[in-house]
């Protein structure tokens, strides 16, 4: 950082970043991490995410085509300073064009880092092709090591497929393989140490995520939520955890070295330990809406201008405006908190 920059005030910094065309907000946060939802559909029905009957899916005509999606990603990378793109959903592996999308996005300059958040169903067959197409890393959701519990929790009998997908990801080098787990009281909250042991033995990095009020069935209950504190307590009964010297930065997970390292465990305390002040994310839904926060109630439509022939710069400007209005925090603990009308599966977790 130059001496000129180091003495600038927050307002001067924000003005400079705006002049540079970056995705800055009025609190000075800069979005460099883009999460793209590739579909709102899913082949599991995790109880904390979707009701058993599924949700009213987005109409096909509303979904961005692969070409539209790649164009928006290009604008984000080339014009707005996005450095990392994560594909999510719904279940992103259900999108047939994913390898081609990856190829086109990793051909951009500068090449963004690419990642996928997935339930890993079918990944055992596609991991190699995705790696070859430019995928760098994966986060795979696995909440239990018990196949019956997996069935109860996801309402599908697919435990073996998820495990095969995890193994394939590691085998082809989609590393570090990260495992995401959500614990629920009376369902799988006794499994934290077991999940960590399993990950340690295989060299996977485990991250627990506090259950958030984003489920399509509106079943979230603060009293029932397993807190970051409880998770840490249960792990500390079996492992020595020391705070990770690597700074947390914009990463949502607070991390600890397990038994002296090098493997870490992370806890994402979105509800009880919010990290909004360091957030560097911007989100694009499968139907082309920018969301400046997972919990935002407003969205900004990029699909309509895109289809009406807007220029790259016009679209970039809409995106900047959408991000500039980002709120300071999600306010889950605020009595006036409203759950967004879109569930997590349609926003992209």
Could you list the residues that contact ligand SAM (CB under 6 A)? 42, 48-49, 88-89, 91, 117-119, 141, 180, 182, 209, 211-212, 214-215, 344-345, 349
Nearest distance in Å: CB 42, ligand SAM: 6
Give the dihedral of Cα atoms 334, 338, 340, 341; nearest 10 deg.
170
Contact 137, 87 (CB under 8 A): no
How many CB atoms neighbour CB 68 within 10 A? Answer: 15
Nearest distance in Å: CB 88, ligand SAM: 5
Nearest distance in Å: CB 338, ligand SAM: 15
Shorter beta-carbon distance to ligand SAM: residue 92 or 134 = 92
- Report what 50 binds from ligand SAM, ligand SF4, none; CB cut-off 5-8 Å by kind: ligand SF4
- Report what 180 binds from ligand SF4, ligand SAM, none; CB cut-off 5-8 Å by kind: ligand SAM
- Report what 88 binds from ligand SF4, ligand SAM, none; CB cut-off 5-8 Å by kind: ligand SAM
Nearest distance in Å: CB 309, ligand SAM: 32
Residue of minimal Cβ distance to ligand SAM: 349
Distance CA 328, CA 330 (A): 7
Shorter beta-carbon distance to ligand SAM: residue 82 or 209 = 209
Shorter beta-carbon distance to ligand SF4: residue 152 or 229 = 152
| Token pair belonging to 6 | 């180091």
What phi and psi values does residue 225 have, to the nearest 5 degrees? -70, 135
| Token pair belonging to 159 | 């435990």
Vertex 96 angle, CA 323 and 84, to 5°? 35
Nearest distance in Å: CB 340, ligand SAM: 12
105 exposure class (CB count in 10 Å sphere: 0-12, 13-18, 19+): buried
Paired sense of beta strands 281-284 and 33-37, if any: parallel
Using CA atoms, how far residue 236 sits from 46, 247, 250, 270, 320, in Å, is 28, 21, 25, 20, 43
Nearest distance in Å: CB 144, ligand SAM: 12
Nearest distance in Å: CB 290, ligand SAM: 18
Contact 30, 22 (CB under 8 A): yes
Distance CA 276, CA 309 (A): 35
Shorter beta-carbon distance to ligand SF4: residue 80 or 120 = 120
Shorter beta-carbon distance to ligand SF4: residue 45 or 342 = 45
| Token pair belonging to 41 | 């559909």
Could you list the residues that contact ligand SF4 (CB under 6 A)? 42, 44-46, 49-50, 89-91, 119, 141, 345
Shorter beta-carbon distance to ligand SF4: residue 165 or 266 = 165
Shorter beta-carbon distance to ligand SF4: residue 121 or 241 = 121
How many CB atoms neighbour CB 322 within 10 A? Answer: 24
- Report what 25 binds from ligand SAM, ligand SF4, none; CB cut-off 5-8 Å by kind: none
């Amino acid at each position: 950082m130059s001496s000129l920059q180091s003495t600038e005030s927050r307002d001067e910094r924000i003005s400079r970043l705006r002049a540079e065309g970056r995705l800055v907000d009025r609190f000075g946060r800069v979005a460099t991490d883009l999460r793209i939802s590739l579909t709102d559909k899913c082949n599991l029905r995790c109880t904390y995410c979707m009701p058993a009957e599924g949700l009213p899916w987005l109409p096909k005509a509303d979904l961005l085509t692969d070409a539209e999606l790649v164009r928006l990603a290009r604008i984000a990378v080339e014009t707005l300073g996005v450095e990392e793109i994560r594909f999510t959903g719904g279940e992103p592996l259900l999108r047939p064009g994913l390898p081609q999308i990856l190829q086109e996005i990793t051909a951009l300059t500068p090449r963004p880092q690419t990642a996928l958040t997935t339930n890993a169903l079918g990944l055992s067959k596609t991991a190699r092709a995705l790696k070859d197409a430019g995928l760098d890393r994966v986060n795979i959701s696995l909440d239990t090591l018990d196949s019956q519990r997996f069935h109860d929790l996801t309402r599908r009998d697919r435990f073996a497929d998820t495990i095969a997908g995890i193994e394939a990801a590691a085998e082809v080098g989609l590393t570090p393989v990260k495992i995401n787990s959500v614990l629920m009281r009376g369902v799988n909250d006794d499994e934290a140490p077991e999940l960590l042991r399993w990950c340690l033995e295989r060299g996977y990095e485990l991250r627990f995520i506090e259950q958030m009020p984003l489920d399509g069935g509106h079943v979230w209950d603060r009293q029932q939520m397993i807190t970051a504190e409880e998770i840490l307590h249960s792990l500390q009964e079996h492992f020595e955890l020391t705070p990770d010297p690597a700074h947390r930065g914009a990463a949502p997970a607070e991390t600890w070295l397990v038994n002296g390292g090098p493997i870490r465990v992370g806890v994402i305390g979105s509800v009880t330990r919010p990290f909004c002040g360091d957030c560097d994310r911007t989100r694009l839904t499968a139907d082309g809406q920018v969301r400046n926060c997972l919990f935002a109630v407003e969205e900004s439509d990029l699909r309509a201008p895109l289809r009406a022939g807007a220029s790259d710069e016009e679209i970039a400007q809409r995106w900047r405006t959408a991000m500039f209005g980002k709120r300071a925090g999600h306010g889950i603990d605020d009595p006036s908190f409203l759950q967004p009308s879109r569930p997590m599966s349609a926003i992209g977790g």
